[in-house]
């Protein structure tokens, strides 16, 4: 998988690019932590939390950043979490999206031994 580096694809020389650069420097170049929270990134980069979330969402779609599968508020740069690249791990956002797409059908389960048992107990239902 050929994942680009943030500094090769961010909009350099623009106001938005300056914000993205500060967020990525906070995310990718911090030696102490692999995963960083949105709050910590916003504080360190001096970019509002809402904008940090938009930036992360933009680069998540490009697989440049990954969301912690155990926490929807923690993110990591792809070079800091190589295990996320090789594995197919759904993030909290992906799991939520799949649950919404599948809808209520996964939550309705009818346990019936046979069609006759079901018809006897629910005579107004038609097969």
pLDDT one-digit tens code per residue, 89-105:
566 777 777 777 776 55
Give the pLDDT score at 48: 94
Identity of the highest mean pLDDT range in 46-50, 67-71, 72-76, 97-101: 46-50
pTM: 0.62
> Which domains does the chain possess?
6-121 (1.10.10.10)
Report the number of secondary-structure helices (H) and strands (E) in the chain: 7, 3
122 has a pLDDT exceeding 80: no
Mean pLDDT of 37-61: 93
Mean pLDDT of 59-87: 83
Measured CA to CA in angstroms, residue 71 lies from 41, 58, 65, 74, 125 at distances of 15, 18, 14, 6, 43
């Amino acid at each position: 998988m050929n994942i680009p580096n943030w500094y090769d694809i961010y909009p350099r020389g623009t106001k938005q690019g300056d914000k993205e650069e500060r967020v990525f420097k906070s995310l990718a170049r911090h030696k102490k932590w692999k995963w960083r929270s949105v709050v910590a990134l916003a504080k360190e980069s001096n970019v509002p939390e809402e904008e940090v979330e938009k930036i992360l969402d933009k680069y998540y779609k490009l697989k440049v950043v990954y969301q912690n599968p155990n926490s929807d508020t923690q993110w990591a740069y792809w070079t800091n979490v190589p295990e996320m690249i090789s594995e197919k791990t759904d993030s909290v956002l992906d799991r939520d999206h799949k649950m919404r797409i599948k809808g209520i059908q996964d939550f309705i389960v009818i346990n019936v031994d046979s069609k006759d048992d079901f018809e006897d107990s629910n005579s107004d239902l038609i097969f």
